[in-house]
Amino acid sequence: MQARAARCVVWGEIVWDRFPDEDRLGGAAANVAYHLSCLGAESVLVSCVGQDDLGQRALARLTDAGVDTRFVTRDAVAPTGTVKVTFEAGQPRYELASFAAYDRIGFDVALAEQLASARALVYGTLAQRTALVQGALVHALDVDGPTRVLDVNLRPPHVTRAIVGRCLERAHVVKLNEHEAHVLAELLNTRDLTRYLLDSGAWLVALTRGERGARLTTATATVEHPGFAAAVGGDAVGAGDAFTALLALEATEHGDLERLVRRANRYASWVASHAGAMPQPPAELAQWLQGTGD
């Protein structure tokens, strides 16, 4: 695969998802960084954890998975983020801790150098709850070079038109699910969200539909895929982040959209067939992901 050795920078939250039975490492940014590493990319994560056991465990797990954590800082004041996870009709629901280390992500010259040579910068709307992080992300988005991939990832009440607008105005690729599309359309007061996003500067919009697949739209083409059924016994946590990871690696303005949406759906369904957001791909799947198979 052409993107095998590509550097992809992921900006955002590291959290521990607190399920009824156990704690599992997660957070959209951490999940995407993990899956980018599984896809064979040079995956660089920009985040912040606390100087606590959860932070240490998170760094160890991600480093073991091949994620570059040099730009994950440790904060002496704020704890590592946590999220209470429950399920309604099989879909995960999230309750975030109000104070977390990822609210204190910073920016420096060394990070700017990493971004300048990166294939993609993946970022979301969640890790922007403070003015400090909002300002740091603006600096990151000002660096020329990477394709900027926005994973909308709305988590009320941490959603404002200002934050969303700031994210959208610099995005080349926008990925969101059906629920987020409904919320965003209301927030932006538009009846045709995809057209709004394309007119605002994005050249690719990816709408995911869970087990019903996804749709990719550019200014000149629309392709859809019905999705793949997930095996019984898994959960949907992290499936969208797996989709985002493959999207960030393979989305290009003139790429094969049908192949992209098929591969992204296949990988997302595999993740949804397992518990938690970071299952370990078996050798045959890893070979497929890092190769040219469809």
In this predicted structure, what is the pLDDT of residue 5?
58
CATH number at 229 reads: 3.40.1190.20
Instruction: In whole angstroms, give the CA distance from residue 112 to residue 87.
Output: 39
In this predicted structure, what is the pLDDT of residue 290?
62
285 within domain boundaries: no
Name residues whose C-beta falls within 8 Å of residue 278's C-beta, 6 or more positions apart in sequence.
24, 25, 26, 31, 34, 35, 61, 65, 238
In this predicted structure, what is the pLDDT of residue 291?
61
286 within domain boundaries: no
283 within domain boundaries: no
pTM > 0.85: yes
Long-range contacts of 161-167 (CB under 8 A, 24+ apart): 161/187, 161/188, 163/125, 163/128, 163/134, 164/125, 164/188, 166/128, 166/134, 166/137, 166/138, 167/123, 167/124, 167/125, 167/128
Helix (H) or strand (E) holding 72: strand 68-75
2 within domain boundaries: no
Q: What is the mean pLDDT, run by run of 10 residues, along the chain of 294 residues?
A: 69 92 92 94 97 98 97 97 85 83 95 96 84 87 96 75 86 96 94 96 96 96 94 86 95 82 93 90 72 61
39 within domain boundaries: yes
DSSP label at 12?
Answer: S
Number of domains in the chain: 1
Burial label for 167, CB within 10 Å (0-12, 13-18, 19+), is buried
254 within domain boundaries: yes
Which residues are registered as beta bridge partners of 91?
A: 88
Instruction: In whole angstroms, give the CA distance from residue 203 to residue 147.
Output: 11
Instruction: In whole angstroms, give the CA distance from residue 287 to residue 229.
Output: 21
256 within domain boundaries: yes
Going 245 to 250 to 253 to 255, the CA torsion angle's sign is negative
284 within domain boundaries: no
In this predicted structure, what is the pLDDT of residue 3?
38
Report the chain's C-alpha Rg in angstroms.
17
Find the length of the chain.
Answer: 294
- Which residues constitute the domain of residue 197? 7-278
Helix (H) or strand (E) holding 137: helix 131-141
